[in-house]
Amino acid sequence: MSLDLQKFRNIGIAAHIDAGKTTVTERILFYTGVSHKIGEVHEGETVMDWMEQERERGITIQSAAISCSWKGYHVNIIDTPGHVDFTIEVGRSLRVLDGMVSVFCGVAGVQPQSETVWKQATRYNVPSIIFVNKMDRIGADYFKVVKDVNERLNGNALAMQVPIGSEENFKGIIDVLTGKMVMYTDEKGMDVKWVDMDPAYADQVAQLRDAIIARAADFDDNLAEAYLDGKEISIEQIKSGLRKGVLKREVFPAFCGSAFKNKGVQPMLDAVLDYLPSPLDIPAVVGENPDTGAEEIRKADPSAPFSGLAFKIMTDPFVGVLSFVRVYSGSLSSGSYVLNVTTGSKERVSRLVRMHSNKREEIPSVEAGDIVALVGLKDVKTGDTLSDIKHPILLENIDVPTPVISASVEPKSKGDYEKMITALRKMTQEDPSFKLFYNEETAQTVVAGMGELHLEIQIDRLKREHKVDVEQGKLQVAYKETIQKPVDIEGKYIKQSGGRGQYGHVWLKLDPLERGKGFEFENKVVGGTIPKEFIPAIQKGLEEAVTTGILGGYPVVDLKATVYDGSYHDVDSSEMAFKIAASMALKSGMKIANPTLLEPIMKVEVDTPDEYVGDVMGDLNSRRGRILGMEEKGKGQQVIRAEVPLNEMLGGYSTTLRSLSKGRASYSMEFETYAEVPAAV
C-alpha cells in the first residue's frame, strides 16, 4: 500500500538551548498520542533524550527520528540538537528534514544559537514556522519576538495569533484567520475549546488578518485579484497562498504558546500540516552516477529506484546498530540488499524499524519520503548514500567541520587498549566530527572534536556505554600553519651514482591564500619541461607534505602551490623522484615564506546583567579577546559579543564566568575562523 505522500511531514524542531525544544517535542508526542505521560525535562525524564548524560545535562545532543501521527498525517520528527558544539548534528538533520518549527523563548527572543540554526536552515533551504514559547513567563512578548525575527534574522515572520493575557494570566490564543480563541480548561491541555474571541480584540485581529491576506496575495494572483476587488476570501485560499510563500522561505508564520503549561501546541501542530512541505514539495534529489560522474535525479516516487541517505548511526542496546535513513526515492523491504554507494559494498538490510517515542515498530517496507532505521548494515557511516544495486546514485555527503580541539586518551588498565580503540572507532563512525588519531611522536592515541563539551561527552560515553575507563590528557587546540609571503623555490631530488638513478626537479611558487581556503595546487608547466605524467605525482607529494608543517608539525593551510618549471631525465626520472622533489621544495619554501601558526578563534556571546559588564569585558580582554560590540537585551541585561582564541577559553571559562557574575551570566561559543597566533604569544 502506498501512503499518500501529501500527508507526510518530516520536520525538525530547532531552538536555542533552553528555549523549550525538548518540552515542545514532549508535548507533541503526548498530544499525538504516542507518549502517555508528560515527561518533564527538569525531572530528567524525556523521551527524546536518549543517552544518560544528555539527561543529566538537560540537553539533547544526538538526533534521532521519532514518528507520530496528527489528524491523519504521518509526522517524523528529527531531533535537532541545540548546543553549538554539535552543529554538525544540526547540519545533518537539516539536510534530511523538509520543514522546521523554530522555537524561540518568548522572553529572550532571538539568541545567538537561534541565529546559527537559522543560518543553517537558510543554507539548506528549509522552510519554517515559528513557535514563540514560554508565554507564561514574566516579560514574554510575542509581538516583540516576531519583530526580533524580522529585524535580526531578516526572517519575514508573520503573526498568525494574538495571545490573550500574559505571564500567569496567559490563558488563551486567538487564531487571526478564524477569529476564534482557543481556551484550555484542563491542566494537561487535552481539552481544546474554540470560542468566539472577545470583541475587544476585533480591531487588532482585523489588522493582522489584513496583513496576512496581503502577504498571501503575494504568492497567489487569484487571491490578489479577489482581495483588490473586495471579494470574500476563504480561509483555505489564504492558507494555500501563504503555504506557497512558506515553501519559498519568503514568509514564516508565527504561533505562540507555553509548552510547559500545555498551551498552544495543538494549533502549532495544525500549522505544521497547513504550511510545512510534504516530501512532494521539495525538489527532487540530485546526485551523480558513481561510475560515470553523470548527474542523476531521483523524484520522491515509490516506483523509482531506491535511494537514501544515512544521516545518523546509533547503537541501540537492544537491536544493535541502527542506521537512520531518509528515503528519497523508491522503496525498500526488509531482507533486501542495498548498495552503499559511498563505500561500494553491498549490504543486506535485515530489518526496518520505525521509532516511536515508547516503542520500536518493525515494518515490512518503507517508501520514498519516509524516514526509517535500518538494522543489519555492517559498514555504514553518517553521510553514506544507499541505493538500488542496479541504479547507483551518489548523493552529496554531509559537511563535516574540522575539529578544533584534541586530547590524548589512555585506558586506565592496559588490557583495555583494544577495547578502547574499537569503541572509539565506532564512535567516529557515529559522529564524523569526532576524530581519532595516533600521534607517532608521542606514541599516544588522540581524539579530536568540535569543543570542550563535545570531547567531555564522548569520553563520558566511553565510560558509560563502552565500559572503558580512560585517562584524558591536557586539552590541546588544533593549530595550523601557513605562510605570509609569496616565494619561488626550487626542489631537486637527484641521485646519479651507479645503476639507475633518481631525477626529480621542480620550481614552485608558493602563495598565501585567504583564511579558510585550505590547500590549492596549480600546474603551469609549459613546453614539457616536466612531462605530463609526473604532474599528479608532484601534486600528491605536495598534498602529503602539507599534512605536517615545519613549525610544529601542524597541518598547513591557506597556501597555493604552483608548479611552473623544472627538468627531467629520460632514464632516471620517476614519479617517486618528482614526488620527493616537490615535497622538499614545499618544506624549504615554507621556511623562507614567513611561516606562522594559526589558532582557532571562537565567536563568544555573553549574556550578563548590567552590573557585571565591566568584569566580564575585562576578563575577555585578558584572554586576548576582541570585543565586537554590546547590545541591550531586555531590562538590565546586556549581550557582549567577542572573538576570543579558543586556547584562552579552555579549562573552565564557565566557572570563571559564574564566579564573576554570581552565577547570573551565561555564554555560548562557536568556532569562527583561524587566525595568526601573535608573535608575543
The distance of closest approach from Cβ of residue 258 to ligand GDP in the complex, given in angstroms and rounded to an integer, is: 4
Binding mask 221-260 for ligand GDP (x = CB under 6 A): -------------------------------------xxx
The distance of closest approach from Cβ of residue 84 to ligand GDP in the complex, given in angstroms and rounded to an integer, is: 12
In the set 14, 41, 96, 447, which binds ligand GDP (CB under 6 A)? Answer: 41
In the chain, what is the straight-line distance between the N-terminal and C-terminal CA atoms, in Å? 67
CB of 522 within 8 A of CB of 510? no
The distance of closest approach from Cβ of residue 588 to ligand GDP in the complex, given in angstroms and rounded to an integer, is: 52
What distance in Å separates the CA atoms of residue 162 and residue 151, rounded to the nearest whole number?
A: 20
Q: Is 81 in the site for ligand GDP (CB under 6 A)?
A: no
Q: Is 58 in the site for ligand GDP (CB under 6 A)?
A: yes
CB of 42 within 8 A of CB of 337? no
The distance of closest approach from Cβ of residue 264 to ligand GDP in the complex, given in angstroms and rounded to an integer, is: 9
- Candidates 14-22, 216-224, 427-435, 486-494; binding stretch for ligand GDP (CB under 6 A): 14-22
What distance in Å separates the CA atoms of residue 2 and residue 4, rounded to the nearest whole number?
A: 6
The distance of closest approach from Cβ of residue 16 to ligand GDP in the complex, given in angstroms and rounded to an integer, is: 7
Q: Select 31 or 493, whichever has its Cβ closest to ligand GDP.
A: 31
What distance in Å separates the CA atoms of residue 668 and residue 652, rounded to the nearest whole number?
A: 13
Cell, residue 612:
557585571
Q: Select 48 or 386, whichever has its Cβ closest to ligand GDP.
A: 48
What distance in Å separates the CA atoms of residue 534 and residue 481, rounded to the nearest whole number?
A: 27
Q: Which residues between 513 and 552 bind ligand GDP (CB under 6 A)? A: none
Q: Is 18 in the site for ligand GDP (CB under 6 A)?
A: yes
Q: Which residues between 263 and 302 bind ligand GDP (CB under 6 A)? A: none
In the set 15, 269, 353, 677, which binds ligand GDP (CB under 6 A)? Answer: 15
Q: Select 114 or 482, whichever has its Cβ closest to ligand GDP.
A: 114
The distance of closest approach from Cβ of residue 286 to ligand GDP in the complex, given in angstroms and rounded to an integer, is: 33
From 516, 436, 522, 444, select the one nearest 480 (Cα to Cα).
516
In the set 23, 278, 574, 608, which binds ligand GDP (CB under 6 A)? Answer: 23
- Candidates 29-37, 54-62, 168-176, 394-402; binding stretch for ligand GDP (CB under 6 A): 54-62
- Candidates 53-61, 63-71, 521-529, 646-654; binding stretch for ligand GDP (CB under 6 A): 53-61
Q: Select 23 or 458, whichever has its Cβ closest to ligand GDP.
A: 23
- Candidates 13-21, 160-168, 370-378, 585-593; binding stretch for ligand GDP (CB under 6 A): 13-21
Q: Select 131 or 328, whichever has its Cβ closest to ligand GDP.
A: 131
Strand residue runs (E) in 370-460:
371-375, 385-387, 394-395, 405-411, 435-439, 444-449
Residue 485 has phi, psi (to 5 degrees) of -145, 150
What distance in Å separates the CA atoms of residue 180 and residue 228, rounded to the nearest whole number?
A: 25
Cell, residue 395:
548523493
Q: Select 67 or 114, whichever has its Cβ closest to ligand GDP.
A: 114
Q: Which residues between 116 and 175 bind ligand GDP (CB under 6 A)? A: 133-134, 136-137
- HEC readout, 599-615: EEEEEEEEEEEHHHHHH
The distance of closest approach from Cβ of residue 148 to ligand GDP in the complex, given in angstroms and rounded to an integer, is: 17
Q: Is 44 in the site for ligand GDP (CB under 6 A)?
A: no
DSSP secondary structure code for residue 412 in this structure = S
Place of cell 595546487: 521
Q: Is 308 in the site for ligand GDP (CB under 6 A)?
A: no
Q: Is 42 in the site for ligand GDP (CB under 6 A)?
A: yes
Q: Select 39 or 411, whichever has its Cβ closest to ligand GDP.
A: 39
- Candidates 18-26, 454-462, 480-488, 562-570; binding stretch for ligand GDP (CB under 6 A): 18-26
Query: How do strand 285-288 and strand 394-395 relate by DSSP bridges?
Result: antiparallel
The distance of closest approach from Cβ of residue 348 to ligand GDP in the complex, given in angstroms and rounded to an integer, is: 37
The distance of closest approach from Cβ of residue 46 to ligand GDP in the complex, given in angstroms and rounded to an integer, is: 8
Residue 305 has phi, psi (to 5 degrees) of -65, 145
What distance in Å separates the CA atoms of residue 50 and residue 89, rounded to the nearest whole number?
A: 14
Q: How many CB atoms lie within 10 A of CB 663?
A: 9
- Candidates 52-60, 200-208, 308-316, 324-332; binding stretch for ligand GDP (CB under 6 A): 52-60
From 651, 226, 676, select the one nearest 405 (Cα to Cα).
651
What distance in Å separates the CA atoms of residue 51 and residue 461, rounded to the nearest whole number?
A: 9
What distance in Å separates the CA atoms of residue 169 and residue 207, rounded to the nearest whole number?
A: 24
In the set 47, 61, 66, 82, which binds ligand GDP (CB under 6 A)? Answer: 82
- Candidates 31-39, 57-65, 450-458, 593-601; binding stretch for ligand GDP (CB under 6 A): 57-65
From 242, 253, 249, select the one nearest 219 (Cα to Cα).
242
Question: For ligand GDP, how many residues bind (rule: CB under 6 A)?
Answer: 22
Binding mask 385-424 for ligand GDP (x = CB under 6 A): ----------------------------------------
What distance in Å separates the CA atoms of residue 183 and residue 197, rounded to the nearest whole number?
A: 10
Question: Angle at the Cα of 284 (from 282 to 289), degrees rounded to 5?
Answer: 150
The distance of closest approach from Cβ of residue 27 to ligand GDP in the complex, given in angstroms and rounded to an integer, is: 9
What distance in Å separates the CA atoms of residue 312 and residue 97, rounded to the nearest whole number?
A: 13
β-bridge mates for residue 641, sequence order: 605, 629
Q: Is 20 in the site for ligand GDP (CB under 6 A)?
A: yes
| Cα-to-chain-centroid distance, residue 286 | 20
Radius of gyration, CA atoms only, the chain: 28
The distance of closest approach from Cβ of residue 86 to ligand GDP in the complex, given in angstroms and rounded to an integer, is: 12
Cell, residue 318:
537492544
The distance of closest approach from Cβ of residue 262 to ligand GDP in the complex, given in angstroms and rounded to an integer, is: 9
Cell, residue 23:
518540552
Q: Select 29 or 41, whichever has its Cβ closest to ligand GDP.
A: 41
CA atoms in the 13 A half-sphere facing the CB of 31: 23
Residue ranges that bind ligand GDP, judged by CB under 6 A: 15, 17-23, 41-42, 58-60, 82, 133-134, 136-137, 258-261
